């Protein structure tokens, strides 16, 4: 398994440790879980249909409407 080193400050470490304790995990397990969930989420986002507009500026500054329609 490849090793990756990240630098976090004391405040971020404190927050992650508190979150890990709440989830009954170690700090390392919590970080691995966050990264794993992020990868799964990104994988799902790939399958969404792409914009059908030809203009790049419209694509950049427009937001796709997703979710349930309002009544």
Q: H/E/C letters for each residue in the chain?
A: CCCCCCCCCHHHHHHHHHHHHHCCCCHHHHHHHHHHHHHHHHHHHHCCCCCCCCCHHHHHHCCCCCCCCCC
pLDDT in tens, the chain (71 residues): 788 898 999 999 999 999 999 999 999 999 999 999 988 887 776 655 566 667 777 777 777 766 777 77
How confident is the model at residue 45, as a pLDDT? Answer: 67
How confident is the model at residue 18, as a pLDDT? Answer: 97
The pTM of the full predicted model, rounded to 2 decimals, is 0.60
Task: Please compute, for residue 30, the number of CA atoms within 13 A of its CA located in the half-sphere on the CB side.
Answer: 16
How confident is the model at residue 71, as a pLDDT? Answer: 74
How confident is the model at residue 17, as a pLDDT? Answer: 97
**Residue 41 and residue 62: Cα distance in Å, rounded?**
22
């Amino acid at each position: 398994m490849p090793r990756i080193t990240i630098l976090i400050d004391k405040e971020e470490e404190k927050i992650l440790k508190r979150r890990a304790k709440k989830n009954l995990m170690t700090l390392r397990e919590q970080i691995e879980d966050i990264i794993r969930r992020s990868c799964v989420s990104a994988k799902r986002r790939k399958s969404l249909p792409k914009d059908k507009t030809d203009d790049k500026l419209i694509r950049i500054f427009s937001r796709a409407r997703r979710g349930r329609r309002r009544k």
